[in-house]
């Protein structure tokens, strides 16, 4: 396992003879901030709010997605970080929909996001760290009141410049921006504000802007727009509003109203932080005991971290949506997509995603991450938890000449060598079996340790067989082979001679399945969706880098035991997971139906991105 990529050096290795310690991870920079805040009691303790942890310092985080698409693996990082901090420090975690733009948001996305956050273990609604489910749109009324307050304080105004005019007047680093409406009387702004609220003006007619600093070197502070007019139906507030708040104005207020302490976001918001702070400071100006504005509002701390940027995929919801709409993929949950729903469908266990996020760590420096690290985390979990089975993806028939026609030998197989409690299962051996086409070569090169004419090989946990003949079709293709078995090798081991050593050795072990008992199944094999490390880098269009061979569908044969246990759970949206020996980890796909088995290959056994794991390799 690779250590966390934060800047703190890992703890030094224990002496070789020291007892194996639980792997200690140094604190990431977010944990360091939280621990420093807790030590200084910056955010106070839970006190009367939470009598059961009255003396515990407050740590309150949130995950604030915009419901404009399905969540991807980058969001998984944010969910794990935020909910993980709440868990670790006895705090709370909120899920909040940042639903401030009616044009792109839909209920379908809200539902999928809730499902994905819960699946990853982000407990916002149950358990000791549940902070609750919130919608930014429920704060619109309150945000409007704060806007009126800022206008009255001379800190905001209604501006009637069009979007183009604002751009044209934004100035340069040395030339300040301008707006002819900046110094209009407060009463005039208040009147127009009320008219905006009442829907009296068309889209684009006016905006509310904060009066900050038209000459600021940080352009975000050059009187940023707080509201624009959008006449559109909203998934939560319906047609009540036709003015909608901008992110910078809304976000800090949402955090403040929920009592968030650490508002964690990605690096692109770093130069928005002065704005985040300005808005809350502006509201708090003049507030206090006896003030007509009331008491100061809570001022959370915004902290930025580097986005998760995986290679060989695209992540922005806009680009993912385009692939869904243009049917480049079968949907948001197409197993090749980088979405959480795709990963669940493909068989990734949620703990593997959590382990991966911990493994890559959290930093302030952007870097690309190879998703093979996520696949390794998936393998680690599946290795411990999945039953082993034998299935054949591309079958080649083998007839065992010296096996009695109707004899069935029921062999005992260990279900999971990593988990004794999983027990054993029966696997039938018969005269006709299938092996993998790739496991046979008529004229093999040196070092081909699988089956070849005249060669002997071990059938996994069954018998040694020797190939005695090859059957071909008219075109010369191998369509079947003949073999003999060695009855003394039952269980897959040669008998031991007088010297205590096995009487013979074979170099190769291959998997197999009884022809009479095999159950047909569709198996979907995946490769990366894109061929380029950074799709679109070359031509500017990520679609140009699509991998045309990212999906291969094969007609496989699976063990009867597997067919019986191949369940799909419609509630959890998870299919049962298995290891197909030598081929990888697979799970039952949602397209399975009675009489029609469909499996996805979750991952190969080895790093499939370095090189495709070949049977027998
Ligand atoms: P996208 O560009 O994919 O639409 P977004 O940032 O617009 O992403 P939001 O719904 O606004 O999506 O994001 C919700 C939260 O997830 C934010 O706090 C954001 O910082 C975080 N987030 C988004 N992408 C990543 C990423 N790649 N790595 C880590 N966190 C991310
Ligand atoms: Mg966003």
* 338 within ligand 1 shell (Cβ under 6 A): no
Helix (H, G, I), strand (E, B) or coil at 249: helix
Could you tell me where the DSSP H helices lie in 285-388? 317-325, 340-346, 350-360, 372-385
Q: Is 308 in the pocket of ligand 1 (CB under 6 A)?
A: yes
- Residue 399 belongs to a domain: yes
pLDDT of residue 511: 96
How far away, in angstroms, is 165 Cα from ligand 2 center? Answer: 25
β-pair type (456-459, 92-97): unpaired
Produce one character per residue of 594-611: b if its CB has 16 or more CB atoms within 10 Å, e if not: eeebbbbbbbbbbbbbee
Confidence of residue 326 (pLDDT cuts 50, 70, 90): very high
- List the residue whose alpha carbon is closest to atom 13 of ligand 1: 65
DSSP tag of 591: T
Mean local confidence (pLDDT), 38-56 = 95
| Structure tokens belonging to residue 242 | 């036709």
- Please tell me which residue, 16 or 532, carries the higher pLDDT value: 532
Residue 8 has pLDDT above 90, yes or no: no
DSSP state of 238: B
Residue with token string 């246990």: 565
Identify the weakest region by mean pLDDT among 102-111, 242-251, 467-476. Answer: 102-111
220 inside domain: yes
The answer as to whether 541 is a domain residue is no
Residues spanned by the domain of 187: 153-242
Mutational test site, ligand 1, from 74, 84, 110, 265, max ligand atoms within 8 Å of CB: 74
66 lines ligand 1 (CB under 6 A): yes
What is the three-class DSSP state of 283?
helix
Tell me: pLDDT of 585 over 50: yes
- For residue 557, pLDDT over 90 is answered with yes
What is the rounded CA–CA span in Å between residue 526 and residue 345? 13
What is the pLDDT at residue 104?
80
Closest ligand 1 atom, CA of 320?
3
Across the chain, mean pLDDT equals 93
In a domain, 323, yes or no: no
When mean pLDDT is compared across 344-358, 438-452, 598-612, the lowest value belongs to: 598-612
b/e map 571-584, b = 16+ CB within 10 Å: eeebbbbbbbbbbb
In short, whether 304's Cβ falls inside 6 Å of ligand 1 is no
Domain edge (last residue) among 468, 486, 514: 514
User: Which of 453, 479, 514 is the C-terminal boundary of a domain?
Assistant: 514
Distance CA 271, CA 268 (A): 7
Q: What is the DSSP string of 23-51?
A: PP-PPPHHHHHHHHHHHHTTT-B-GGGSG
Distance CA 466, CA 457 (A): 7
- 535 C-alpha to center of ligand 1: Å? 19
- Ligand 1 atom at shortest distance from the alpha carbon of 66: 10
- Which residue has its alpha carbon closest to ligand 1 atom 4? 317
> Does the C-beta of 317 come closer than 6 Å to ligand 1?
yes
- pLDDT value of residue 606: 86
Cβ 78 under 6 angstroms from ligand 1? yes
Q: Let me know: does 212 contact 182? Beta carbons within 8 Å.
A: no
By the CB criterion, residues less than 5 angstroms from ion ligand 2 are 66
| Whole-number pLDDT of residue 37 | 98
Over range 242-246, report the average pLDDT.
Answer: 98
Of 222, 191, 187, 227, which is closest to residue 206 (Cα–Cα)?
A: 227
What's the 317 CA to ligand 2 centre distance in angstroms?
9
Distance CA 390, CA 581 (A): 6
CA of 111 to the centre of ligand 1 (A): 17
> Candidates 70, 78, 124: which one to mutate for ligand 1, based on the most atoms within 8 Å of Cβ?
78
Rounded Cα distance between 176 and 217, Å, is: 9
CATH code assigned at 421: 2.40.240.10
CA atoms within 13 A on the CB side of 329: 25
Sign of CA dihedral 138, 144, 150, 153: negative
Ligand 2 centroid – CA 72 distance (Å): 12
For residue 45, pLDDT over 80 is answered with yes
Least confidently predicted of 13-27, 305-319, 585-599: 13-27
**What pTM was estimated for this model as a whole?**
0.91
Where is the domain boundary, 222, 242, 262? Answer: 242
Alpha-carbon distances of 381 from 386, 577, 603, 612, rounded to whole Å: 9, 11, 12, 20
| pLDDT number for residue 88 | 97
With a 6 Å cutoff on the Cβ, whether 62 touches ligand 1 is no
Specify the range with the lowest mean pLDDT, choosing from 170-174, 304-308, 498-502. Answer: 498-502
543 has pLDDT over 80: yes
Task: Give me the residues paired with residue 156 across strands.
Answer: 210
C-alpha atoms less than 13 angstroms from C-alpha of 173 in its C-beta half-sphere: 0
Q: Tell whether the model's pLDDT for residue 84 goes beyond 60.
A: yes
User: 610 pLDDT exceeds 60?
Assistant: no
Q: Quick check: 340 and 76 in contact, CB under 8 A?
A: yes
Contact 301, 261 (CB under 8 A): yes
pLDDT tens digit string along 184-230?
A: 999 999 999 999 999 999 999 999 999 999 999 999 999 999 999 99
% residues pLDDT > 90 (the chain): 88
Q: Is residue 298 part of a domain?
A: no
**75 Cβ closer than 6 Å to some ligand 1 atom:** yes
The bound ligand whose nearest atom lies closest to the alpha carbon of 314 is 1
Residue 486 is given by DSSP the state E
* Confidence at residue 607, expressed as pLDDT on a 0 to 100 scale: 73
Closest residue by Cα to residue 154 from 119, 125, 189: 189
User: Does some domain include residue 249?
Assistant: no
8 Å CB contact between 545 and 535: yes
Please return the burial class of 253, using the count of CB atoms within 10 Å of its CB with bins 0-12, 13-18 and 19+.
Answer: buried
Residue 301 maps to a domain: no
CA dist 380 → 1, 337, 369, 384 (Å): 10, 21, 18, 7
Q: How many domains does the chain have?
A: 2
Average pLDDT of the segment spanning 9-20: 41
Q: Is 104 in the pocket of ligand 1 (CB under 6 A)?
A: no
Q: What is the pLDDT of residues 109-161, one digit of tens each?
A: 999 999 999 999 999 999 999 999 999 999 999 999 999 999 999 999 999 99
Distance CA 233, CA 381 (A): 45
**Of the candidates 374, 345, 131, the residue with the CA atom closest to the CA atom of residue 258:** 131
Say yes or no to pLDDT of 613 above 50. Answer: no
| 533 falls within a domain | no
Closest residue by CA, ligand 1 atom 2: 316
Cβ burial of 363 (10 Å; 0-12, 13-18, 19+) is: middle
User: Are 254 and 211 contacting, i.e. CB atoms less than 8 angstroms apart?
Assistant: no
266 lines ligand 1 (CB under 6 A): yes
Whether 307 is in the pocket of ligand 1, judged by its Cβ within 6 Å, is yes
Contact of 603 with 381, CB cutoff 8 Å: no
Cα-trace Rg, the chain: 31
Residue nearest to atom 8 of ligand 1 (CA): 316
C-alpha–C-alpha distance, residues 30 and 36, integer Å? 10
CATH of the domain at 197: 3.90.800.10
Q: Which ligand places an atom closest to the C-alpha of 262?
A: 1
Would you call 488 helix, strand, or coil by DSSP?
A: helix
Average pLDDT rounded to a whole number, residues 277-292: 98
Q: Is the pLDDT of residue 515 over 50?
A: yes
Q: Is ligand 1 within 6 A of the CB of residue 136? A: no
């Amino acid at each position: 396992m690779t250590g966390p990529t934060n800047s703190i050096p890992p703890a030094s290795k224990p002496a070789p003879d020291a007892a194996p310690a639980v792997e200690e991870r140094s604190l990431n920079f977010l944990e360091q901030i939280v621990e420093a805040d807790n030590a200084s009691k910056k955010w106070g303790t839970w006190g009367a709010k939470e009598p059961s942890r009255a003396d515990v310092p407050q740590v309150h985080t949130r995950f604030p997605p915009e419901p404009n698409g399905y969540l991807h693996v980058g969001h998984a990082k944010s969910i794990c970080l935020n909910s993980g901090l709440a868990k670790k420090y006895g705090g709370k975690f909120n899920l909040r929909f940042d639903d401030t733009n009616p044009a792109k948001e839909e209920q379908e996305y809200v539902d999928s996001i809730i499902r994905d956050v819960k699946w990853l273990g982000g407990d916002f609604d149950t358990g000791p760290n549940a902070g609750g489910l919130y919608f930014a749109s429920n704060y619109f009324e309150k945000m409007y009141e704060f806007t009126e307050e800022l206008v009255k304080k001379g800190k905001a105004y209604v501006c009637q410049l069009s979007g183009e005019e604002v751009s044209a007047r934004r100035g340069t680093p040395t030339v300040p921006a301008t707006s002819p409406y900046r110094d209009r009387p407060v009463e005039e702004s208040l009147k127009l504000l009320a008219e905006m609220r009442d829907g009296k003006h068309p889209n684009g007619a006016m905006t509310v802007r904060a009066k900050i600093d038209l000459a600021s070197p940080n352009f975000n502070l050059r009187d940023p727009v707080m509201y624009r007019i959008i006449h559109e139906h909203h998934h939560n507030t319906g047609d009540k509003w036709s003015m909608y708040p901008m992110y910078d104005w809304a976000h800090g207020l949402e955090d403040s109203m929920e009592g968030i302490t650490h508002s964690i976001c990605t690096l692109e918001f770093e130069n928005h932080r002065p704005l985040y702070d300005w808005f809350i400071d502006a509201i708090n100006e003049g507030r206090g005991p006896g003030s007509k504005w009331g008491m100061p509002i809570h001022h959370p701390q915004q902290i930025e971290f580097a986005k998760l940027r995986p290679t060989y995929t695209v992540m922005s919801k806009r680009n993912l949506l385009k692939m869904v709409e243009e049917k480049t993929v079968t949907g948001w949950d197409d197993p090749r997509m980088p979405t959480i729903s795709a990963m669940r469908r493909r068989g990734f266990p949620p703990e593997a995603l959590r382990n991966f996020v911990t493994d890559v760590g959290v930093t302030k420096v952007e870097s690309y991450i190879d998703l093979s690290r996520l696949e390794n985390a998936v393998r680690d979990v599946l290795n411990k938890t999945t039953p082993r089975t034998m299935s054949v993806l591309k079958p080649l028939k083998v007839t065992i000449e010296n096996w009695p026609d109707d004899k069935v030998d029921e062999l005992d197989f260990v279900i999971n060598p990593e988990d004794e409690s999983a027990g054993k299962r029966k696997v039938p051996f018969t005269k006709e079996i299938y092996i993998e086409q790739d496991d046979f070569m008529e004229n093999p090169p040196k070092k081909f340790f699988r089956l070849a004419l005249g060669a002997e090989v071990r059938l996994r946990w069954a018998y040694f067989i020797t190939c005695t003949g090859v059957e071909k079709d008219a075109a010369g293709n191998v369509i079947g082979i003949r073999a003999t078995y060695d009855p003394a090798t039952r269980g897959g081991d040669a008998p031991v001679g007088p010297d205590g050593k096995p009487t013979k050795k074979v170099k190769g072990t291959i998997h197999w399945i009884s022809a009479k008992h095999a159950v047909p199944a569709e198996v979907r094999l995946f490769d990366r969706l894109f061929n380029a490390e950074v799709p679109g880098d070359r031509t500017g269009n990520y679609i140009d880098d699509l991998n045309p061979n990212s999906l291969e569908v094969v007609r496989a044969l699976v063990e009867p035991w597997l067919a019986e246990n191949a369940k799909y759970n419609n509630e959890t949206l998870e299919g049962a997971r298995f290891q197909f020996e030598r081929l990888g980890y697979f799970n039952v796909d949602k397209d399975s139906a009675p009489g029609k088995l469909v499996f996805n290959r979750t991952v190969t056994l080895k790093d499939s991105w370095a090189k495709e794991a070949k049977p027998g390799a």
